[in-house]
Structure 1
Amino acid sequence: MWCGLAGTFNSLLAARVVQGIGFGPADTIAPDTVGEVFFVHERGRAMAIYTVFLSGGSFIGGTAGAYIAGQLGYRYIFWITMAMCAAVFLLEFFLVPETLFDRQAALVAEQHPSVMGDGTYSDEKRAGVETVERTIVLGDRMTFRQSLSIGVYRGNLVQHFLDPWRSLAFPGTWVVMLHYGGLLGGLITISTIGPQLLAMPPYLWGDNVGLLGLGAVVGGLLGFLPTYLTADRLLTGRAKKESHGFAEPESRLPALFPALFLATTGIWVFGFCAANPSPHAWAGMVVGYGMVGFGIMQIPSIGFNYLIDSYHAISADCFVMTTISRAVVSFAWTFFAAQWVETAGAALPFGIFGMIMGLFALLTIPLWLYGKRMRIATAGYLPNHENH
């Protein structure tokens, strides 16, 4: 709403900061919820469904946004999205139950029901039972209305603020957040620069510049199918070959290689076609955008599942860092990209962006080969609590 009402650039900038504060938790909590709800052999497909909506919303919104801004004015982009966000907020508030649950305290209450009466148990166990009584009604005694209560909170605020930064001690966090940050940086740069180029000669697309996003829509849909089919199959197939029936998280990583290749080369394809305008060069720009769209569909799906499988106890903290890296890299790339393209042409900037993405992609190889050893070496940094 603030963005739609903003009368100055500084006001719009401040409103965007507030938007970022709101988007951050959503981008962090949603993938972690998938990890909590689904079993290890189901997470790949579930994450693929989540990711296709995550990326598809951006692509379809970018395509529609050009027409909305051209016909109604750019402010209506904010008014329409505000209405959708308000609807989601109401559905969340009234229909989605609170799932925060103190498992350890519940187990204490279940195993030692007399702790409330005779005082024969430790203070720690008594405190656990009291925590359950204060925060949540156990078992079938909880009504749906009670499950919608909010404000259940435990722990130290400063400690929770610092925890995500400690996840940087794990190589897997770095690889996934660099993948995601570099990919989103390239994607947002294309979505920012592409419409500007298509609005100029020899294209002169006018309000149709948003059609560039259809390439990403098609690429994302093409990326969804192999992700949905292979994300879990690689893991379960590997488990069947092991006598103990288990597979390591690294079994998922080979599914990343095609997407990383397409994302890297897609940035180059877009940059080459943008640097050599002709009446039909737009087709190459659309294809390049689609290749990156394929990557944004598959890479987070596999990478997020790797973090959940590898560091389940701190996966939410890892997702905080991936969200931060995405925001920082995307801002850094787009902050100067338009001026850089204007002065140096599109080939050099997108060539460097693709090179950076390629370097990030190469980090997947040592993680695939030595990821288990890295996890063993850094296991001491994991939190030592009952849920790990």
Structure 2
Amino acid sequence: MATSFFAPPSDPNFVNYISKVAYFFTGAALTIGIGQFIWTPVAIKYGRRPVYIICFTLLTVCNIWAACAKSYGSMLAARLLTGIAAGAPELVAPLTLTDVFFLHQRGRVMAIYNCALALGSSLAVVILGIVINWTSWQVVFWILTGLSAICLLLMIFTVPETAYNRSIATVVDPVPIPITVLEKSDKSFEHVSRVPPPSPSACGRTSRTPYFKRFALIPKVYTGESIWLIMFRPVVLLALPGVLWATLINSVTVGMIIVLSSNFSTAFQNIYGFTVLQAGLTFISMAIGSLIAIVFAGHFSDWVADKLTQRNGGVRIPEMRLPALFVGVITGPLGGILYGAGFGLKLHWMCPVVGIGLIGFTVVQSMNVSLVYILDSYRPVSGEVIVTQSTFKACFGFLLGFYTNPWVAKDGYLGAFGAMGGIEGAILLGFIPFYYFGSHWRSASWKWGFIKRLAHWAEDREVGE
């Protein structure tokens, strides 16, 4: 892309041009987080479906714009706007999953979702290398245009609104609850009498909504909360200890992928003599690691939580999922060390490839466990929690884009990625104090004055969990 907008590789300033092209990706990563501040109040107040339709329409237009861009400024503007559009699915998809699936199913489905995100970034690199090797980078955006247009049609005709106004199903007349009454007789034995259960007609029901109403384009209002309060709440939630810790996990794990994406191709070409296609194929290991992580992020974390719930007399608290993070404590730092050592010590090319796979595994496993933990803790404001994590992650990734290459140039691959792996492991080790004290910290922080004023949700946001 640098040759399309600036100069050929023989130009002495070509290295600086590569850094400018990197803004196409780091800038989009930043606007993904910023855009979610726009989409959050819309998705919460007016439903998920309008956001899906608007964002995929905008995404399709932006991909066409990028494919036709003739100047650096035009391309950068298209990519920044693409980030705003792409931020919506990253926000609304977890909301949709929490709307549809129950508490005991959430770990597994969120693991599949997070794996899909990781597969998107890893397989996209592979496909990108193949397409560019045989055609041009413009073809990539035409492919993305077709994919986003297909998604738009699917959203319009097959995805109903999943937000639900629980006041619709309220019961008009009070329904007696089945109870057991114990009475002592003169013969000193207990007589049991039961109140018969209510008939099905006495319970509140909602009739099946016709197809055209379920897929209507005119949104409803699902909460009476102010748009501005919903938009500002993600900033306040960052002060909660659990949200801050989970956000740091999200940022450092995903930030590692952003760092890899900015220099892996150059590193493989310079050190191992790989072509662009061969360098892209190394990200297959990240796809494999992400797929394996589904088991440890979903089924394993649910199993850990279920076992600890049984030991707690059947009472479940969100922190019971956290011990599953011990897997990420091992794989995260190990992946960073293998990746850095492979390039820094010029080991066999499989060393950094295995490191990439372990990093992909850690992203899915640790991010899913920490995200589900926070969603379970603050389910009614799950949208704002997701925005808190995504926005902080986007800003963190954007800053890494500026400092990664100078850091690698100063300390080498082993020093830089070894340090990042160590930081990641230290943050993940936070699961130990949060497992023992997280419940107390949640309760205490929820009573802070500014949290009561700005973070507590309205009654119509309750979900019954």
Instruction: Give the TM interval when normalised to the shorter protein.
Output: 0.7 to 0.9
Match of 2:142 in 1: 79
Q: Check conservation: 1:194, 1:212, Cα contact below 8 A.
A: no
* 3-state secondary structure, aligned to 1:3: helix
Kindly indicate whether residue 430 of structure 2 is the aligned counterpart of residue 385 of structure 1.
no
Q: Check conservation: 2:96, 2:162, Cα contact below 8 A.
A: no
- Partners of 1:22 and 1:370 in 2: CA distance: 39
Match of 1:238 in 2: 308
For the structure 1 residues 267 and 201, does the alpha-carbon distance in structure 2 shift closer, same or farther, using more than 3 Å as the test?
A: closer
Q: Percent same amino acid at aligned positions?
A: 27
Instruction: Report the AA paired with residue 323 of structure 2.
Output: P
Q: Check conservation: 1:172, 1:307, Cα contact below 8 A.
A: yes
* 3-state secondary structure, aligned to 1:348: helix
Instruction: For residues 122-151 of structure 1, give each alpha carbon's deviation from its aligned partner in whole angstroms, at most 9, with x where no partner exists.
Output: xxxxxxxxxxxxxxxx93262111111233
Which of residues 140, 147, 153 in structure 2 aligns to 1:90? 153
Which of residues 76, 101, 123 in structure 2 aligns to 1:60? 123
For the structure 1 residues 362 and 239, does the alpha-carbon distance in structure 2 shift closer, same or farther, using more than 3 Å as the test?
A: closer
- Partners of 1:344 and 1:255 in 2: CA distance: 33
RMSD of the TM alignment (CA)? 2.1
- Partners of 2:73 and 2:411 in 1: CA distance: 29
- Partners of 2:99 and 2:299 in 1: CA distance: 21
Kindly indicate whether residue 112 of structure 2 is the aligned counterpart of residue 38 of structure 1.
no
Match of 2:341 in 1: 272
Kindly indicate whether residue 427 of structure 2 is the aligned counterpart of residue 350 of structure 1.
no
Match of 2:198 in 1: none
- Partners of 1:344 and 1:11 in 2: CA distance: 35
Unaligned stretches of 5+ residues in structure 2: 1-63, 174-204
Instruction: Report the AA paired with residue 301 of structure 1.
Output: N
Task: Provide TM-score, normalisation by structure 1.
Answer: 0.86
Match of 2:368 in 1: 301
Task: Provide TM-score, normalisation by structure 2.
Answer: 0.73
Match of 1:20 in 2: 83
Kindly indicate whether residue 396 of structure 2 is the aligned counterpart of residue 329 of structure 1.
yes
Q: State how 1:190-229 maps to structure 2 within 5 Å.
A: 190-229=260-299
Match of 1:111 in 2: 172
Deviation for aligned residue 1:310? 0.6
Q: Check conservation: 1:262, 1:291, Cα contact below 8 A.
A: yes
Query: Quick check: which has more Rg, 1 or 2?
Result: 2
Q: Check conservation: 2:337, 2:417, Cα contact below 8 A.
A: yes
- Partners of 2:292 and 2:163 in 1: CA distance: 36
Q: Check conservation: 1:191, 1:213, Cα contact below 8 A.
A: no
For the structure 1 residues 89 and 253, does the alpha-carbon distance in structure 2 shift closer, same or farther, using more than 3 Å as the test?
A: same
Unaligned stretches of 5+ residues in structure 1: 113-137
Instruction: Report the AA paired with residue 170 of structure 1.
Output: L
Deviation for aligned residue 1:41? 1.2
Deviation for aligned residue 1:267? 1.2
- Partners of 1:45 and 1:148 in 2: CA distance: 28
- Partners of 1:238 and 1:262 in 2: CA distance: 24
Instruction: Report the AA paired with residue 267 of structure 2.
Output: L
- Partners of 1:168 and 1:100 in 2: CA distance: 25
Instruction: Report the AA paired with residue 220 of structure 2.
Output: V
Which of residues 263, 275, 297 in structure 1 aligns to 2:332? 263
Task: Identify the structure with bigger relative contact order (alpha carbons < 8 Å, sequence gap 6+).
Answer: 1
Larger relative helix fraction: 1
- Partners of 1:66 and 1:45 in 2: CA distance: 31
- Tell me which moved more, 87-96 or 23-32: 23-32
- Partners of 2:426 and 2:303 in 1: CA distance: 27
- Partners of 1:67 and 1:181 in 2: CA distance: 29
- Partners of 2:434 and 2:108 in 1: CA distance: 22
- Tell me which moved more, 331-340 or 192-201: 331-340
Match of 2:429 in 1: 362
Match of 1:128 in 2: none
